[in-house]
């Protein structure tokens, strides 16, 4: 009997340790996820534009395939790579982040230039896909590539927020953050892209007048909302990309630009003491975005002529 009681005590102790570990994982995952919150917003703003122009019955399958690609990016590539770099080459994290930030600047600047400097012949890449199925594959591939960059930033920011511990704890926390963020982002994207269908259903089959009126309002509002979401997504890529580059330069010792932006934002914030915090944040984000546009425009030839062709030759994952 005494042996059985001792065994039960050991089991209880192990259970307490396991529960404490789960609590630690949950707490660290929540903290790390909150650090990456702004990037989550960017990801959610960018993704819905990839479903634009497709039939309603293809929207959720497209979102699901992008979500699967995002999970693969995070768990099979970025998580091991992040842990490996953190353990063996921490010096490489900042340059790699800056490469990712530069790509975000390129993506955002390209969208801006296409919108305001549009000429005939610029749509050749998209019109080449006369088959909707081929266009869908191209859109999904582009979305997963963009997600890879955003996911890399999310995982790196999350890793930096995790207190130093063993590799298993860090890996578990990162996996928890990656899965949780993917569910949050793509669950939200699914709701966004199907909101107009829900509104149409309410307008047609609503039992009450108010329900039908709400449905019609949703249907009328969603095109405007999606347009603004595209604008927000582009601005987010430029802002985040520019801020990553500027912060990386500061880490590498080239901090004059960061100090200049902080000086301007601080000076303008002092002119509006009633909202100094917001003014400083807004000016900093605006300057980061302007820098992102300039840098992205400067590297468009490099990306389009050198990097993009090399990237296209990489093996493709089935989605």
Tokens of 234: 């582009």
Specify the pLDDT at position 23: 45
pLDDT for 107: 79
Are the CB atoms for 261 and 246 separated by under 8 Å? yes
- For CA atoms 255, 281, 86, 142, give the dihedral sign: negative
Enter the tokens of residue 257.
């630009």
pLDDT at 53: 67
Q: How far apart are CA 145 and CA 143, in angstroms?
A: 5
Rounded distance between C-alpha atoms, residue 39 and residue 296, angstroms: 19
- Model confidence at 41, in pLDDT bands (50, 70, 90)? low
Helix (H/G/I), strand (E/B), else coil: 122: coil
Q: Using 50, 70 and 90 to split pLDDT, how confident is the model at 154?
A: confident
Query: Is the CB of residue 152 less than 8 Å from the CB of residue 78?
Result: yes
Higher pLDDT, 246 or 232: 246
Percent of the chain with pLDDT over 70: 73
Specify whether the CB–CB gap between 250 and 235 falls below 8 A: no
pLDDT tens digit sequence for 203-226: 888 788 888 888 888 888 888 887
Q: Which two tokens stand for residue 58?
A: 């293809």
The per-residue pLDDT for range 102-126, each reduced to its tens digit, is 877 887 888 888 777 654 444 544 5
Segment holding 18, helix H or strand E? helix 2-35
- Helices 79-88 and 132-161: crossing angle in degrees, nearest 10, is 40
Q: Are 267 and 284 in contact (CB under 8 A)?
A: no
Q: What are the CB-based long-range contacts (under 8 Å, 24+) for 224-233?
A: 225/192, 225/195, 226/48, 226/49, 226/52, 226/192, 229/45, 229/48, 229/49, 229/192, 230/48, 230/49, 230/52, 232/45, 233/42, 233/45, 233/46, 233/47, 233/48, 233/49
Q: Is 0.75 topped by the overall pTM? A: no
Q: How confident is the model at residue 294 (pLDDT cuts 50, 70, 90)?
A: very high
How far from chain centre, in Å, is Cα 175? 16
Q: Which of 118, 153, 126, 145 is nearest to 54 (CA)?
A: 126
Which two structure tokens, joined as six digits, stand for 159? Answer: 């890793």
| Contact of 143 with 47, CB cutoff 8 Å | yes
Helix (H), strand (E), coil (C) string for 93-123: HHHHHHHHHHHHHHHHHHHHHHHHCCCCCCC
- Name which residue leads in pLDDT, 50 or 251: 251
C-alpha pair distances (Å), 144 with each of 31, 73, 88, 130, 189: 26, 8, 28, 21, 14
Residue 284: count of CB within 10 angstroms of its CB: 21
pLDDT digits (tens, 9 = 90+) for 52-79: 667 777 788 888 888 898 899 888 988 8
Report which of 52, 138, 114, 98 is spatially closest to residue 312, judged by C-alpha positions.
138
At 293, the pLDDT band (50, 70, 90 cuts) reads very high
């Amino acid at each position: 009997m005494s042996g059985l009681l001792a065994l039960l005590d050991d089991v209880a102790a192990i259970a307490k340790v396991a529960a404490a570990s789960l609590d630690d994982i949950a707490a660290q995952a929540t903290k790390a996820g909150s650090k990456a919150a702004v990037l989550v917003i960017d990801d959610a703003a960018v993704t819905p534009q990839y479903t634009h122009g497709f039939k309603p019955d293809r929207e959720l399958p497209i979102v699901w395939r992008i979500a699967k690609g995002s999970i693969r990016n995070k768990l099979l590539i970025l998580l091991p790579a992040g842990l490996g770099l953190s353990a063996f080459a921490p010096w490489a994290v900042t340059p790699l982040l800056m490469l990712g930030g530069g790509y975000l600047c390129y993506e955002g600047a390209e969208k801006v230039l296409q919108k305001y400097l549009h000429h005939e012949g610029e749509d050749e890449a998209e019109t080449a896909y006369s088959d909707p199925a081929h266009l869908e594959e191209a859109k999904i591939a582009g979305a997963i590539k963009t997600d890879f960059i955003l996911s890399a930033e999310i995982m790196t920011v999350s890793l930096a927020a995790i207190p130093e511990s063993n590799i298993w704890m860090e890996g578990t926390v990162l996996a928890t953050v990656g899965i949780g963020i993917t569910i949050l982002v793509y669950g939200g994207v699914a709701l966004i892209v199907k909101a107009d269908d829900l509104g149409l259903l309410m307008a047609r089959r609503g039992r009450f007048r108010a329900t039908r009126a709400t449905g019609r309002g949703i249907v009328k509002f969603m095109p405007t909302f999606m347009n603004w979401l595209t604008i927000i997504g582009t601005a987010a890529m430029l802002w985040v990309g520019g801020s990553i580059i500027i912060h990386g330069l500061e880490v590498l010792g080239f901090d004059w630009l960061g100090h200049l932006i902080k000086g301007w934002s601080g000076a303008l914030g002092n002119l509006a003491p009633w909202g100094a915090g917001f003014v400083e944040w807004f000016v900093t984000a605006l300057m980061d975005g302007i820098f992102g546009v300039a840098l992205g425009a400067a590297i468009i030839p490099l990306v389009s002529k050198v990097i993009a062709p090399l990237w296209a030759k990489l093996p493709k994952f089935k989605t």
